[in-house]
Amino acid sequence: MIIKSYDLKKLDLNKNNIILFYGQNSGAKEEEISNILKIKNKLTPHHYEEKEVIENSGDFYNEINSNSLFEEEKIFIIKRATDKLEKILQEITEKDLSNTLLIVNAENLEKKSKLRNLFEKSKRLICTPFYLDNNAQLAKIAFDYFNKINYSISQSNINLIVSKTNGDRRVLKTELEKIEFFIRNNKKLTSEHLLKLINIVENHSISELVDNCLAKNQKKIINILNENNFNNEDCIIIVRTFLNKSKKILKLCSEHEKNKNIDLTITSAKPPIFWKDKEITKQQILNWKPENIKKLIYKLSELELLIKKNIIDSVNIINNFIFEQSSSKINN
């Protein structure tokens, strides 16, 4: 059964307890899951990756159907779900899952998707698409955010921020948090500051620094650090640049692991890799395995939180992280 996102608050989660969220708007999905967890505030969710469910389907099936002495009600969240889960979920949803809430979180699912069809055609299961937000919706979210922190900002600057989000409110939230962090430490936000914070004007030294760190070119890293006097605000930009580039390399590493052909991986990349970046991208792919780049992405999320808590020492923190990553052994 298809339910629009704005109607989810009307659901009785005790009856409608098996839900599929899918779509490209990761931020909106995360918000909705967060809202559900607030309603079930005394419960700790059990998180699973799709791979874990598939490899341990028997254990997962037993856990989701078993009663617990310590939990009157249970919440299970399956992340990054695809059609590979369709048969397992079909078997699970045929049973009466009393005192259990199951949320399946998927990326974009095509109309012919088996998983999507399973939920859409059932009168008992809930299927909610999350499409990308339009600029007006994102602008309202941004205005509300600045009102909440009592900061006045122009419409033109709001539009500038929204232009960086690609329709995803999670990206918008990241940009807003970064700007709030700057405001709290600097009070005044100029247009120049904003351009730099949201990286509209590409900071080549930061981009080059991250590229060489991922390629483990330590001599080049030392030169870049010596030539640039990075400040506390730059540290957040470095982490965000690191995170974005790492996600791109993860996709390329995964493809390279399948085809075992570095040149094919580079030439078939989407979006295409600019000719001058091809050589360093090759180095990056050969330096990392998918599982190790995933660990790096997790570390970067922790690093941003650490920097926000220790702003005075943020430059030292980021420098230590860069040297640690660039000096570690090649992850082959």
CATH assignment of the domain containing 21: 3.40.50.300
Same domain as 249, residue 171: no
Percentage of the chain beyond pLDDT 70 is 95
Grade residue 5 by pLDDT with cuts at 50, 70 and 90. confident
SS3 40: coil
- How many domains are there within the chain? 3
> Phi/psi of residue 104, each to 5°?
-105, 120
Distinct helix (H) and strand (E) counts, the chain = 16, 5
- Residues 142 and 122 placed together within one structural domain of the fold: no
Q: What is the pLDDT of residues 87-146, one digit of tens each?
A: 999 998 887 777 889 999 998 899 999 999 999 999 889 999 998 888 899 999 999 999
Identify whether residues 279 and 307 lie together within a single domain. Answer: yes
Mean pLDDT of 263-285: 89
Domain end, chosen from 173, 197, 221, is at 197
User: Would the pLDDT of 332 be above 80?
Assistant: no
Q: What pLDDT score was predicted for residue 164?
A: 74
Please tell me whether residues 10 and 117 are part of one structural domain. yes
Q: How far apart are CA 261 and CA 322, in angstroms?
A: 28
Q: Does residue 290 have a cis bond before it (omega within 30 degrees)?
A: no
Q: What is the pLDDT of residue 199?
A: 60
pLDDT category of residue 179 using cuts at 50, 70 and 90:
confident
Structure tokens at 204: 């080549």
Look at residue 228 in the predicted model and tell me its pLDDT: 75
pLDDT on residue 69: 52
Residue 41 lies in a domain: yes
Q: Provide mean pLDDT across the span 251-263.
A: 93
115 lies in a domain? yes
pLDDT at 276 (0 to 100): 80
pLDDT for residue 82 is more than 80? yes
Is the pLDDT at 330 greater than 80, yes or no?
A: no
Asked if residue 304 is part of any domain, the answer here is yes
The verdict on 120 and 140 lying in the same domain is: no
Q: What is the pLDDT of residue 204?
A: 56
Report whether 105 contacts 80 (CB < 8 A).
yes
What is the mean predicted confidence (pLDDT) over 53-57?
91
Please tell me whether residues 102 and 166 are part of one structural domain: no
Average pLDDT score, the chain? 86
Do 157 and 67 share a structural domain? no
Give the pair of three-digit tokens for residue 147: 């009102």
Q: What is the dihedral of CA 65, 35, 81, 56, to 10 degrees?
A: -30
The answer to whether residue 125 sits within a structural domain is: yes
Using a CB cutoff of 8 Å and minimum separation of 24, what contacts does 243-250 make? 243/297, 243/300, 243/301, 243/304, 245/207, 245/210, 245/211, 245/214, 246/214, 246/293, 246/296, 246/297, 246/300, 247/297, 249/214, 249/281, 249/284, 249/285, 249/288, 249/293, 250/290, 250/293, 250/294, 250/297
pLDDT at 171: 79
Assess if residue 95 is contained within a domain: yes
The CATH number that applies at residue 166 is 1.10.8
pLDDT for the residue 234: 79
What distances in angstroms separate CA 301 from CA 71, 191, 294, 298, one per listed residue? 30, 27, 11, 5
The answer to whether residue 267 scores a pLDDT higher than 60 is yes
- Structural domain of 249: 204-327
Candidate from 27-41, 180-194, 211-225, 257-271 with smallest mean pLDDT:
180-194
Mean pLDDT (whole number) for 193-198: 74
Least confident of 108-122, 202-216, 259-273: 202-216
Question: What type of residue sits at position 12?
Answer: D
More confident residue, 232 or 3: 3
332 domain-assigned? no
Average pLDDT over every residue of 1-13 = 88
- 325 burial type by CB count under 10 A (0-12 exposed, 13-18 middle, 19+ buried): buried
- With the C-alpha atoms ordered 208, 210, 215, 218, is the resulting torsion angle positive or negative? positive
More confident residue, 70 or 8: 8
**Residues 282, 233 share a domain:** yes
Longest CA–CA separation in the chain, Å: 64
Q: Looking at residue 203, what is its pLDDT?
A: 52
d(CA 90, CA 18): 11
Residue 58 lies in a domain: yes
Query: What pLDDT, on the 0 to 100 scale, is given for residue 9?
Result: 86
Least confident of 148-152, 171-175, 200-204: 200-204
